[in-house]
Amino acid sequence: MPAVFGTMTTISADEPFFVLVDDHIHSARMMRRAVREAAHLAQFAWIGNARRAERTLARLFDQRGALRPDLVIVDLKSSSDATARFIGGVWNRLNAAGVPIVALSDRPDGDRQTLMESGADAVFERHHDLDAYRAEIADIVSFWVRETVTWPIRA
């Protein structure tokens, strides 16, 4: 498991738990900082690249009593369709559990249709400017608050 994943042992069931699927550790670290700025109470874990994340999610959802994520964020840059393939591969499990999945894309307008058809609940833009990136992460957190049925129950 990636080092960031190890923090799951301290995650409280009363706090929202977001996981990131990302093939670059640098952007995973940047995302963790941005999520903490946008949602102070949210717990965050990077669960690795697509292959590792698929195994991790399967294990989390197969174990009874395991803490499950409240939101899955997918930011795969390895190929143009990697994010859509990953989402399509995990969609049934996440949908059955009511866990929203969002995608980041360099071309959200151009990729939106494909990503939504693969099962993404929303598509957000991957920004290279740090301030714009932080604003987009805040929009992801706002999306989760608006769209989830979990948070109002636990709040």
What's the domain count of the chain?
Answer: 1
Residue 48 covered by a domain: yes
Cβ of 117: how many Cβ atoms within 10 Å? 11
Residue 89 covered by a domain: yes
Give the position of tokens 């197969």: 62
- Average pLDDT on 77-91 reads 88
Q: How far is CA 126 from CA 44, 50, 147, in A?
A: 18, 17, 21
Residue 61 covered by a domain: yes
CA 5/CA 21 separation, integer angstroms: 11
Asked if pLDDT for residue 19 goes beyond 70, the answer is yes
Residue 47 covered by a domain: yes
Using N-to-C axis directions, what is the helix angle for 130-147 and 25-38, rounded to 10°? 60
Question: What pLDDT does residue 86 have?
Answer: 96
Residue 41 covered by a domain: yes
Residue 54 covered by a domain: yes
Cβ of 100: how many Cβ atoms within 10 Å? 20
> For residue 53, which phi and psi values (nearest 5 degrees)?
-65, -40
C-beta of residue 31 within 8 angstroms of C-beta of residue 124: no
Residue 60 covered by a domain: yes
Q: State the residue range of the domain holding 41.
A: 1-7+36-71+78-98+144-155
Q: What is the pTM of this model?
A: 0.85
* Mode of pairing for the β-strands spanning 71-75 and 122-125: unpaired
Lowest mean pLDDT among 24-28, 34-38, 96-100, 112-116: 34-38
CA 109/CA 50 separation, integer angstroms: 23
Residue 57 covered by a domain: yes
Asked if pLDDT for residue 14 goes beyond 50, the answer is yes
Asked if pLDDT for residue 40 goes beyond 80, the answer is no
Across the chain, mean pLDDT equals 84
